[in-house]
Amino acid sequence: MAIDGGRPGFGELRQNWRILPPCMIGIMLCSTHGYSLGVMIPVLERDMGWARAQTSMGLMIISTIALVAAPLVGLAIDKVGPRRIALAGILVFAFGLASLSQATSIESWWLLWILLGAGNMLILPTVWTKAINGYFDRNRGIALAIALCGTGVAAAFVPTLTNWLVEHYGWRQAYVGLGVIGAALTFPVTWLLFRMPAEGGKAGAAAETPRQVQGVSAREGFTQPRFLKLAGATLLFSVTICALTTNLVPVLIARDLTPAGAAGIAGLLGLGSITGRIVGGFLLDRFDAAKVAAASVAMPVVTVLLLLAFPGPGVAAIACLILGLAVGTEVDCCAYLAARHFGLRAFGALFGTMNGLMLFGNGIAPVLANHIYDVTKSYDIVLWAQIPACLGTMLLFLMLGPYPDLDAEDAPHDAPLADPATA
C-alpha cells in the first residue's frame, strides 16, 4: 500500500537515484569478508592446518563485536549522520581485510578479525539504510531493495574473484587484493554522492525539504513486545541463512564439485539474491511485510531438500538460486519492518540492535556448522537443521501483527508512516 492509499509511482527514484550507488557499493563491501571466507576455509585448512571451526571463529569475533557495538553505532548515526561514519569505516574495513594476509597463526588470525570487525561496524546496513530513509518515502521498499542488491553483487562475484586471486597469487595476496579493490571502488563514490538531504548534497528535488522524523523513541521501542519478536526473528533468520551461505562452497565441494565449480555455482546465490531483492522490494511496497518475510524464510527449506535428495551440479545451481531469493529479502524485510513498526526517530538505535543480532547470528552459524563438520565430516546435520529453524522464524514474523498507528500511540513526534514501505 502506498501513501494515501494509492499505488506508489517511481518519481522519488528518478529524483533521488544518486544516493543509491554509494549505498549499494557500501553494502557490497560490508559483506565481502563473509562471501570470501567460504572459498578461504578449505585453502586455510590445507595450507595452515587450521580446523574449519577455528577459521570460522573470525565471523564469531565480528558478531560478538556487533552485539555490543552495533547499537552504539546506530545511536551515533542518529546523532551525527551516516556520512562521516561510512567514510571512516570504508578505510578501516579495507585495511582490516588486507591485513588478514599477515596471519601466521590461528591466534593472529583471530586478532586481525578484531580490526576487521571494527571497520565492519562502521559500514553496516544501518549506515546506508538511514540515508535511504532520509530521501525516500513512497518508494522506500524498492529503493532499499536496490541498495541492498549490493549483497547480491558480492555473493555473485566475490567467491569467483576470491578463487581466481587464490589460484593466481595465493590466499595472502588474495586478501590484499580484496581490500584494495574494495577501497578503490567504494571510497570515491561515497565521498562524492553519499550525503543526507540536510548536508547540502541534495540527490534530487524531493530532498530540498527534509521530512519530519517520525516514530517512537529508542526506550519505547526496546520495551515493546513486537521488538522482541522482530529481534528474535532477525536472529534466527540470520543463523538459518548464514549457516548455508557462508559454507555454501564447502557444502558443494562435499557433494563432489570442484572448488572452481563450487565457487561458480555459489555465485548464482548472488543472482538469486538480486532477483529476490527487487521482487521483494516491489512486494514490500504493496503487501504486509511480515507475510513477505515469512514466505521468503520457506525458501531455504526447498534448497535443503534439493541438495539432500539430488546431489549434482544442475540441481545445486537451482538450489543456490532459490536460496538467493531468501538471502535477497533478509535485511530488506527486517529493516522495512523495523521502520514500519517503530518509525524513523530512533531507527539507527533500534535497527542497529537488530543488525547486531543479525551479525551475531552470522558469526554463530558458520562456527556451529563447521564444528559439526569437523566432528561428523559431513554437513548433512546442518542441512536438516534448517527446516525447524525456518519454521520457527516464519512463526515469529507472523506473530508481529498489523502495522501500528504510531500517531495514535504517541503524537505529535511519533506521527505515523502512512507508507508501509518504511525501511
Res 190: pLDDT: 94
Domain encompassing residue 258 = 16-195+212-409
Please tell me the distance from the alpha carbon of residue 264 to that of residue 160, in angstroms, as a whole number: 6
- Counting the structural domains of the chain, the total is 1
The helix/strand/coil state of 210 is: coil
Reply yes or no on whether the pLDDT at 408 is more than 70: no
Comparing CA positions, the residue from 340, 77, 347 lying closest to residue 213 is 347
pLDDT digits (tens, 9 = 90+) for 223-268: 888 899 999 998 998 888 888 887 888 888 887 777 778 878 877 8
- Per-position DSSP letters for 216-255, written without gaps between them: --HHHHHTSHHHHHHHHHHHHHHHHHHHHHTTHHHHHHTT
Do the domain assignments include residue 114?
Answer: yes
Please tell me the distance from the alpha carbon of residue 37 to that of residue 41, in angstroms, as a whole number: 6
Please tell me the distance from the alpha carbon of residue 371 to that of residue 148, in angstroms, as a whole number: 30
Do the domain assignments include residue 8?
Answer: no
Range picked from 161-175, 203-217, 239-253 for highest mean pLDDT? 161-175
Do the domain assignments include residue 417?
Answer: no
pLDDT digits (tens, 9 = 90+) for 297-310: 888 899 889 888 87
Position 414 confidence tier, pLDDT thresholds 50, 70, 90? very low
Helix (H) or strand (E) holding 186: helix 140-193
Please tell me the distance from the alpha carbon of residue 303 to that of residue 322, in angstroms, as a whole number: 6
The helix/strand/coil state of 336 is: helix
Res 100: pLDDT: 95
Half-sphere exposure of 339 (CA within 13 A, CB side): 30
What percent of the chain is predicted at pLDDT more than 90? 25
Position 170 confidence tier, pLDDT thresholds 50, 70, 90? very high
Q: What's the whole-number mean pLDDT along residues 282-296? A: 86
Res 423: pLDDT: 33
What percent of the chain is predicted at pLDDT more than 70? 89
Do the domain assignments include residue 9?
Answer: no
Block residue for cell numbers 544518486: 18
Res 412: pLDDT: 40
Lowest pLDDT segment from 14-18, 84-88, 207-211: 207-211
Q: What's the whole-number mean pLDDT along residues 394-403? A: 88
Res 338: pLDDT: 86
Reply yes or no on whether the pLDDT at 6 is more than 80: no
> Mean pLDDT of all residues in the chain?
82
pTM of the predicted model over 0.75? no
Comparing CA positions, the residue from 44, 29, 9 lying closest to residue 370 is 44
Position 9 confidence tier, pLDDT thresholds 50, 70, 90? low
| The dihedral sign for the CA sequence 186, 116, 179, 44 | negative
Do the domain assignments include residue 418?
Answer: no
- How far is Cα of residue 229 from the mean position of the Cα atoms in its chain? 19
Please tell me the distance from the alpha carbon of residue 267 to that of residue 320, in angstroms, as a whole number: 8
Res 8: pLDDT: 54
Res 406: pLDDT: 61
Do the domain assignments include residue 216?
Answer: yes
Reply yes or no on whether the pLDDT at 115 is more than 90: yes
Q: Which residues contact 13 (CB under 8 A, 6 or more apart)?
A: 136, 139, 142, 143
Q: What's the whole-number mean pLDDT along residues 341-355? A: 81
Q: What is the 3-state secondary structure (H, E, C) of 53-111?
A: HHHHHHHHHHHHHHHHHHHHHHHHHHHHCHHHHHHHHHHHHHHHHHHHHHCCCHHHHHH
Do the domain assignments include residue 5?
Answer: no
153/181: higher pLDDT:
181
Helix 106-121 to helix 52-80 angle (10° resolution) is 20
Reply yes or no on whether the pLDDT at 212 is more than 70: no
Please tell me the distance from the alpha carbon of residue 156 to that of residue 150, in angstroms, as a whole number: 10
pLDDT digits (tens, 9 = 90+) for 18-46: 889 999 999 999 989 988 988 898 899 99
Q: How far is CA 282 from CA 27, 70, 138, 237, 327, in A?
A: 20, 28, 11, 21, 16
CATH code for the domain in which residue 119 is found? 1.20.1250.20
Alpha helices in 246-379 (DSSP H): 248-253, 259-266, 268-284, 289-297, 299-309, 313-342, 347-376
Task: Determine phi and psi for 379, rounding to 5 degrees.
Answer: -100, 10
Please tell me the distance from the alpha carbon of residue 185 to that of residue 188, in angstroms, as a whole number: 7
pLDDT digits (tens, 9 = 90+) for 59-111: 889 888 888 888 888 888 888 888 999 999 999 999 999 999 999 999 999 99
Lowest pLDDT segment from 67-81, 190-204, 409-423: 409-423
Do the domain assignments include residue 422?
Answer: no
